Amino acid sequence: MVEPRVDQEDVLKTEELLVNIGPQHPSTHGVLRVVVRTDGEIVRDSKVFIGYLHRCFEKIAESVPYPQSIPYCDRMDYIASMNDGLAMCMTIEKLLGVEIPERAVWVRMIVCELNRIASHLIAVGTYGLDIGAFTPFFYAFREREKILDILEKISGGRLLYHYIRVGGQLRDLNAEIIDDIKKFVDQMEYRWPEYNELLSNNLIFVKRTGNVGVIPADLAIEYGLTGPCLRGSGVRFDLRKDEPYCFYDKVEFDVPVGEGKMGTVGDCWDRYWVRMLEIRESCKIILQCLEKLPEGPMMGKVSKVIRCPKGEVYFRAENPRGELGYYLVSDNKPQAYRFRARGPSFCNLSILGEVARDCLVADVIAIIGSIDIVLGEVDR
């Protein structure tokens, strides 16, 4: 049999292509730029470019008095400002040695867990939107609006609060706000199963997230992942349990971890599912805090001009995205000599180049969404 002749010009030639995802693209969750090297629909390599939202937070914190630096940290993770402010104030209080009133501590836990739920609702809602599910986005924002209404009554702000101060808080919770919180928790518990019907068990969503973007436990630890990204890989580590602060050692709650129910342990679905379970755990914490809430003042004894003694301190808290740490060096002046922030989104994002490889282009979007980053915290 004579083989047909194939001219050189007829041979199909392929070459790799560089594709920019972002920095202005809805699925990048902010001004993030990811350059992917593709071979057809297969991603061979990816590289992350950051710095589009750099705000010089650390230098500002070293240039203004301690109380004035707190509003700037609210803008790092602007979806969880209460949690940012708590970590900032507790870092200063740790070096200052000030005693916080018991009621103020319980209120701090309540507002931070409310903000954690609001943050996870955004993560869940926008993640469904990334995958192509439109309805869960509206469901998530419906519940989130209730939280924002409550936090607005407490602090006066809907996104950036500046509520937690060094020594406590300036405003207390009245009976109306406490009643609103209880109603919201009941509503959240009632609505939670709807999310599973729409998204968690949706066949298309499971196919897009199960066995996609798998992060083994050892790799997650190696890259310094924390929060749901670490727990999604099966590592049961939560600072509220392992290094309790506030009164987290006085309340009961579970630490959900990924179990590979829809694929492999550490895949995109596991990271999503951990956040879903944490919403219920935060509801349990809030109810316990309301039961234990004592009467008393909201502010400790703190001078108007705060001067921390000479020394250094590091404090870390469990934010919705993982471990937020502040390192403070004081030289007994009204502002910090050195202030350093360890943002969980920055560390979690660092693994993208390792995970987003030899997968489909569409899978890169699913992986970015499962990491749940906030660019204000990445760039700081």
User: Is residue 30 situated within a structural domain?
Assistant: no
Question: In the chain, how many domains are there?
Answer: 1
354: left (phi over 0), alpha (psi -120 to 50) or beta: alpha
User: Is residue 12 situated within a structural domain?
Assistant: no
Query: How far are the Cα atoms of 4, 140, 147, 193 from residue 181, in angstroms, in the given order?
Result: 77, 17, 8, 20
Q: At CA 179, angle to CA 176 and CA 183, rounded to 5?
A: 135
Q: What is the pLDDT of residue 297?
A: 92
User: How does residue 310 score in pLDDT terms, banded at 50, 70 and 90?
Assistant: very high
User: Is residue 326 situated within a structural domain?
Assistant: yes
User: Is residue 23 situated within a structural domain?
Assistant: no
User: Is residue 176 situated within a structural domain?
Assistant: yes
pLDDT at position 366 over 90: yes
pLDDT at position 114 over 90: yes
User: Is residue 304 situated within a structural domain?
Assistant: yes
**Average per-residue pLDDT for the chain:** 91
Q: How far is CA 119 from the centre of its chain?
A: 7
C-beta neighbour count of 176 within 10 angstroms: 10
Share of the chain above pLDDT 70, in %: 97
- How far apart are the C-alpha atoms of 76 and 241, rounded to whole Å? 24
Q: What is the pLDDT of residue 55?
A: 82
- How far apart are the C-alpha atoms of 26 and 319, rounded to whole Å? 24
* Nearest residue to 233 (alpha-carbon basis) of 265, 260, 204, 205: 265
In which residue are the tokens 């309805």 written?
Answer: 135
User: How does residue 13 score in pLDDT terms, banded at 50, 70 and 90?
Assistant: low
pLDDT digits (tens, 9 = 90+) for 153-183: 999 888 899 899 999 998 899 999 999 999 9
C-beta neighbour count of 172 within 10 angstroms: 16
pLDDT at position 1 over 70: no
pLDDT digits (tens, 9 = 90+) for 256-289: 999 989 989 999 999 999 999 999 999 999 999 9
Domain assignment of residue 145, given as a range: 57-379
User: How does residue 379 score in pLDDT terms, banded at 50, 70 and 90?
Assistant: confident
pLDDT at position 8 over 60: no
User: Is residue 254 situated within a structural domain?
Assistant: yes
Q: What is the pLDDT of residue 231?
A: 96
- How far apart are the C-alpha atoms of 246 and 90, rounded to whole Å? 9
Please measure the distance between the N-terminal and C-terminal CA atoms of the chain and give it in whole angstroms. 69
CATH number (domain holding residue 350)? 1.10.645.10
User: Is residue 249 situated within a structural domain?
Assistant: yes
